[in-house]
């Protein structure tokens, strides 16, 4: 099958679009329930997929990434994988360790975006839609099957109507917290750039505000200005989808691969640990040390020291000392003195 396509990107894009078309065909009952008002979002999603596969494949072809994915796939069914998945993708425990403020802003932004996508994409591709009976009840249709009938003024129906409004408020709160921290925190201010760090937040803010404005116009202004605001909102979503694979927001679809990295570290650390060739402290697994040396070799990068060590076989403090030695002329890496942050975590 690989010979039928010009590249991995072409094959991945073809399979993804074909899968979307099949699911849409099934969900819309042979395209009989397609909402043309959502056509722009559909086009934007397909362009996003193209950008995502281009970015992912170019990243995945790199020797270290290819090695991590290959070994991560083999370790996917470790007993710890469900716990790791929850910690990394649901509760963000790794951010909790940095402080409750940053954890709260990530929870609001992360889950606000995830829930919005879970509502938006099924509606855009016709996998889910609603019909109303003469009796005042809504029927929730999923993949062409009626799965639930609820009162039009009931709790479930109201949550369905306002799902995107709720997620918009979550995102606005999270983005506001992030902007406040980036402006007030001196270290964050020194590290931020307008286009890379602030622009994604402004785009999320624009999507959320224009989405809430649509609801406000429909409910309180009886639809006045709704057509124009609808176009502004739609274009803000489409532009963000196109930009997403190439900017800072790309870490959102790439985040699941952190499970591979965690499983890789844990599994091989249980096998055997590598001792630093200078101080003798264990710092990584033997497998990871060998993989680093192998990957550097593939890229024709050699870090052999005069003493016959490879820098990948030295712990971080000794590696730092060795680099200092190259400038000072004094073999500081041979001095058996621990640094203040020798065993620092984080």
| DSSP secondary structure, 62-117, as one string | SHHHHHHHHHHHHTTT-TTHHHHHHHHHTS-HHHHTT-HHHHHHHHHHHHHHHHHH
pLDDT (mean) for 243-271: 89
pLDDT tens for residues 241-254?
Answer: 999 988 888 888 88
Q: Which of 240, 303, 197, 219 is nearest to 45 (CA)?
A: 240
pLDDT tens for residues 40-50?
Answer: 888 888 888 88
Kindly tell me the sign of the dihedral angle through the C-alpha atoms of 276, 301, 303, 327.
negative
Alpha carbon distance 81, 248 (integer Å): 26
Position 54 pLDDT exceeds 90:
no
Alpha carbon distance 259, 81 (integer Å): 7
pTM, 2 dp: 0.81
pLDDT tens for residues 186-231?
Answer: 777 778 888 888 999 999 999 999 999 999 998 888 888 888 999 9
Q: What is the pLDDT of residue 147?
A: 85
What are the two backbone dihedrals, phi and then psi, of residue 339, each rounded to the nearest 5 degrees? -80, 165
Domains in the chain: ranges and CATH: 2-258 (1.20.950), 272-334 (no CATH)
Q: Are 309 and 278 in contact (CB under 8 A)?
A: yes
Q: What percent of the chain has pLDDT over 70?
A: 94
Long-range CB pairs of 69-77, under 8 A, 24+ apart, other chains included: 69/257, 69/260, 71/260, 71/264, 72/257, 72/259, 72/260, 72/261, 72/263, 72/264, 73/260, 75/260, 75/263, 75/264, 75/267, 76/259, 76/260, 76/263
Q: What is the pLDDT of residue 7?
A: 78
Alpha helix (H) ranges present in 163-248? 163-184, 186-191, 199-220, 226-243
Position 344 pLDDT exceeds 50:
no
């Amino acid at each position: 099958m690989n010979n039928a396509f010009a590249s991995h990107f072409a094959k991945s894009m073809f399979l993804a679009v074909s899968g979307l078309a099949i699911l849409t065909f099934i969900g819309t009952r042979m395209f009989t329930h397609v909402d043309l008002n959502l056509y722009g979002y559909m086009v934007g999603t397909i362009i996003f997929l193209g950008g995502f596969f281009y970015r992912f494949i170019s990243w995945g072809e790199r020797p270290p990434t290819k090695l991590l994915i290959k070994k991560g796939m083999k370790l996917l069914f470790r007993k710890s994988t469900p716990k790791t998945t929850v910690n990394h993708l649901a509760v963000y425990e790794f951010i909790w360790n940095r402080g409750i403020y940053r954890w709260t802003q990530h929870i609001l932004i992360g889950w606000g975006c995830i829930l919005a996508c879970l509502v938006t994409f099924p509606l855009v591709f016709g996998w889910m839609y609603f019909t109303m009976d003469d009796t005042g009840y809504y029927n929730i249709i999923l993949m062409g099957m009626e799965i639930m009938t609820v009162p039009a003024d009931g709790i479930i129906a109201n949550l369905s109507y306002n799902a995107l409004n709720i997620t918009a408020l979550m995102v606005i709160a999270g983005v506001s917290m992030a902007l406040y921290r980036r402006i007030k925190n001196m270290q964050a201010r020194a590290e931020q750039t307008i286009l890379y760090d602030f622009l994604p937040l402004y785009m999320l803010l624009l999507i959320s505000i224009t989405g809430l404005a649509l609801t406000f116009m429909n409910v309180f202004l009886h639809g006045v200005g709704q057509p124009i605001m609808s176009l502004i909102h739609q274009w803000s979503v489409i532009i963000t989808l196109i930009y997403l694979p190439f900017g800072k927001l790309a870490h959102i679809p790439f985040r699941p691969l952190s499970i591979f990295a965690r499983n890789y570290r844990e599994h091989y650390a249980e096998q055997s640990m590598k001792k630093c060739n200078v101080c003798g402290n264990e710092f990584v697994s033997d497998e990871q040390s060998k993989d680093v040396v192998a990957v550097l070799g593939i890229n024709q990068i050699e870090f052999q020291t005069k003493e016959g060590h490879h820098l990948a076989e030295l712990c971080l403090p000794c590696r730092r000392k060795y680099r200092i030695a190259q400038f000072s002329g004094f073999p500081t890496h041979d001095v058996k003195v621990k640094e203040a942050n020798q065993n620092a975590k984080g």
